[in-house]
């Protein structure tokens, strides 16, 4: 199966992205932020047609790495790993072909749900994402993510190296 042909908007995301995650409470107060390096890939071999690895780094020295392998089914990515279960799909109503939508639930916290909207710039150099976190149907926080494209050559990534200043 050629997932990149079936999901051409998502295929534009392949590569390495550096950015910032910023977390806000329901009243709009920022309570956390951290740098990120995401590696989005479509491996030619292996058990999953899509695999994303997120590297996070906080100013206090904390780091975290999360892996998100996904399968393809009925026009969307399907995530089912130790952390989440959910899906990602291209927004077919977006005539400009920039939008991907995601939905997932945290494992062990079925009352916590997240909706994500991703837009990639026409030039493919910038990506902006917003997460809405819901618990029992009520918004509990929002995450704003701003990223810039680093390289299509994800095969050479050995780990996070955060370069440059915060993305404006």
Give the count of domains, the chain.
1
Predicted TM-score of the model (pTM): 0.90
Mean pLDDT check: name the lowest of 35-49, 102-116, 147-161: 147-161
Q: Is residue 161 part of a domain?
A: no
Q: Is residue 162 part of a domain?
A: no
Q: Is residue 147 part of a domain?
A: yes
Mean pLDDT score, 60-67: 94
Q: Is residue 28 part of a domain?
A: yes
Can you say whether the dihedral through the CA atoms of 12, 79, 45, 153 is positive or negative? positive
Q: Is residue 157 part of a domain?
A: no
pLDDT tens digit sequence for 87-118: 999 999 999 999 999 999 999 998 999 999 99
Which of the four pLDDT bands, split at 50, 70 and 90, describes residue 168? very low
Q: Is residue 168 part of a domain?
A: no
Q: Which CATH number goes with the domain that contains 106?
A: 2.40.128.20
Question: What average pLDDT does the structure give for the chain?
Answer: 91
Q: Is residue 105 part of a domain?
A: yes
Q: Is residue 167 pLDDT above 50, yes or no?
A: no
Mean pLDDT check: name the lowest of 9-13, 63-67, 155-159: 155-159
Report CA-CA distances (Å) from 119 to 10, 89, 149: 10, 12, 13
Distance from C-alpha of 115 to C-alpha of 109, rounded to nearest angstrom: 15
At residue 154, the pLDDT reads 80
Q: Is residue 159 part of a domain?
A: no
Give burial (CB, 10 Å; 0-12/13-18/19+) of 79: buried
Mean pLDDT check: name the lowest of 12-26, 98-112, 119-133, 145-159: 145-159
Q: Containing domain of residue 37, as a range? A: 3-152
């Amino acid at each position: 199966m050629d997932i990149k042909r079936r999901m051409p908007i998502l295929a534009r995301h392949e590569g390495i992205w550096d950015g910032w995650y910023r977390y806000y409470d329901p009243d709009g107060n920022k309570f956390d932020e951290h740098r990120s390096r995401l590696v989005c890939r479509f491996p030619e071999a292996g058990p999953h047609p899509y695999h994303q690895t997120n590297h996070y780094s906080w100013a206090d020295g904390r780091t975290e790495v999360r892996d998100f392998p996904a399968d393809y089914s009925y026009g969307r990515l399907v995530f089912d790993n130790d952390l989440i279960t959910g899906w990602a799909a291209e927004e077919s109503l977006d005539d400009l072909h920039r939008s991907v939508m995601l939905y997932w639930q945290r494992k062990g916290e079925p009352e916590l749900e997240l909706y994500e909207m991703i837009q990639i710039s026409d030039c493919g150099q910038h990506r902006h994402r917003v997460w809405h976190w819901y618990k029992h149907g009520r918004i509990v926080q929002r995450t704003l993510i701003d990223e810039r494209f680093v390289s299509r050559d994800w095969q050479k990534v050995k780990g996070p190296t955060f370069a440059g200043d915060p993305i404006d």
